[in-house]
Amino acid sequence: MKVAIIGGGTMGKAVVQSMLRKKVAGKQDIIVSDVAAQSRDYIAKRYGIQVTDDNARAVRGADAVILAVKPQELVAVVRQISGALKSQLVISIAAGVSLESLCRHLEYRVVVRAMPNTAAQVGKGMTAWTSTRELSGPQYEMARSILASMGEEQYFADEKYIDMATAVSGSGPAYVFLFIESLIDAGVHIGLPRDIAGKLVIETIVGSADAMKKMAMHPAELKNMVTSPGGTTTEALLNLESGGFRSLIINAVTAAYEKAKALGVN
């Protein structure tokens, strides 16, 4: 499988790393196009793959084209490559840009819209995706293998769920990082050395997520297993609920969802 990646930023590099690590494509099969010479030089040296500053050239001969650019850059990019599209699979990871908008600007309909998150950089991402009906069976599987190389993937037949997933899993790592930062600061506040507080918090977060995945229990059940009547956890949870913790999370995700819908390129 030959893959062209337009955009050598963070997510572009994450796709390259993931495909090479999972052997979805070899070094000789990947080309990255980026306008920045510094980015091209880094990618060529770091991964040993082809680079170019010509988007149309990158697309020609590719089986799959991945648009790893910001929403505000997308229109200019698709105008450069639309004439070079013949039968390639096009995957866009630009936040908030609908399939309808992508197809209209590309004048092409073999398109996937995907929303990975930042954990894709270490192969632990969560990607929500959807596609037009024009994908063939092999192209669907091609898209799935590329996205699965970055971690877990979830296909949605109805595109409306992509903006919702953007607000939950796309933006989600930032919520988790904020919680981690706050929990570390709390540990320091009560007297723990910062490095030790950091280790305690990170291992607690990782262990809790792993336990929930393996035990396949509702989070409320797992929470209750930790919470003894009149104990320390009960007191902590009372303060979180009194401060509107649950409502703040719901409101934050709702705000992110509304923003995702508003980001769409017309």
SS (H, E, C) the chain: CCEEEECCCHHHHHHHHHHHHCCCCCHHHEEEECCCHHHHHHHHHHHCCEEECCHHHHHCCCCEEEECCCHHHHHHHHHHHHHHCCCCEEEECCCCCCHHHHHHHHCCCCEEEEECCHHHHHCCEEEEEEECCCCCHHHHHHHHHHHHCCEEEEECCCCHHHHHHHHHHHCHHHHHHHHHHHHHHHHHHCCCCHHHHHHHHHHHHHHHHHHHHHHCCCHHHHHHHHCCCCCHHHHHHHHHHHCCHHHHHHHHHHHHHHHHHHCCCC
Mean pLDDT across 51-70: 95
pLDDT per position as a tens digit, 195-209: 999 999 999 999 999
Length, in residues, of the chain = 266
The pLDDT value given to residue 71: 86
Which residue, of 162, 184, 218, is where some domain finishes? 162
With respect to residue 9, please indicate whether it lies within any of the assigned structural domains. yes
pLDDT per position as a tens digit, 216-260: 999 999 999 999 999 999 999 999 999 999 999 999 999 999 998
| 208 lies in the same domain as 85 | no
| 254 lies in the same domain as 208 | yes
| 133 lies in the same domain as 188 | no
Which residue, of 162, 190, 206, is where some domain finishes? 162
Question: What CA–CA distance (Å, rounded) separates 196 from 137?
Answer: 50
| 143 lies in the same domain as 243 | no
CATH of the domain at 128: 3.40.50.720
Beta bridge partners of 114: 129
| 58 lies in the same domain as 111 | yes
Which residue, of 162, 188, 207, is where some domain finishes? 162
pLDDT per position as a tens digit, 171-199: 999 999 999 999 999 999 999 999 999 99
CATH of the domain at 239: 1.10.3730.10
| 30 lies in the same domain as 126 | yes
With respect to residue 167, please indicate whether it lies within any of the assigned structural domains. no
Question: What CA–CA distance (Å, rounded) separates 224 from 219?
Answer: 9
Which residues lie closer than 8 Å to 178 by C-beta, 6 or more apart?
none
The pLDDT value given to residue 131: 98
Q: Number of folded domains in the chain? A: 2
Sign of the CA dihedral running 153, 158, 161, 166: positive
For the entire predicted model, the pTM comes to 0.91
The pLDDT value given to residue 112: 98
Which residues lie closer than 8 Å to 200 by C-beta, 6 or more apart?
187, 192
| 88 lies in the same domain as 149 | yes
With respect to residue 236, please indicate whether it lies within any of the assigned structural domains. yes
Measured CA angle at 129 (ends 218, 39), to 5 deg:
115
| 129 lies in the same domain as 200 | no
147, two tokens: 């996205």
| 149 lies in the same domain as 42 | yes
Sign of the CA dihedral running 15, 18, 22, 23: positive
The pLDDT value given to residue 265: 57
Query: Taking a C-beta distance cutoff of 8 angstroms, is the pair 69, 261 a contact?
Result: no
> What is the span of the domain harbouring residue 203?
172-262
203, two tokens: 């291992």
Residue 264 pLDDT class (50, 70, 90 cuts): low
Instruction: Say if residue 266's pLDDT is above 80.
Output: no
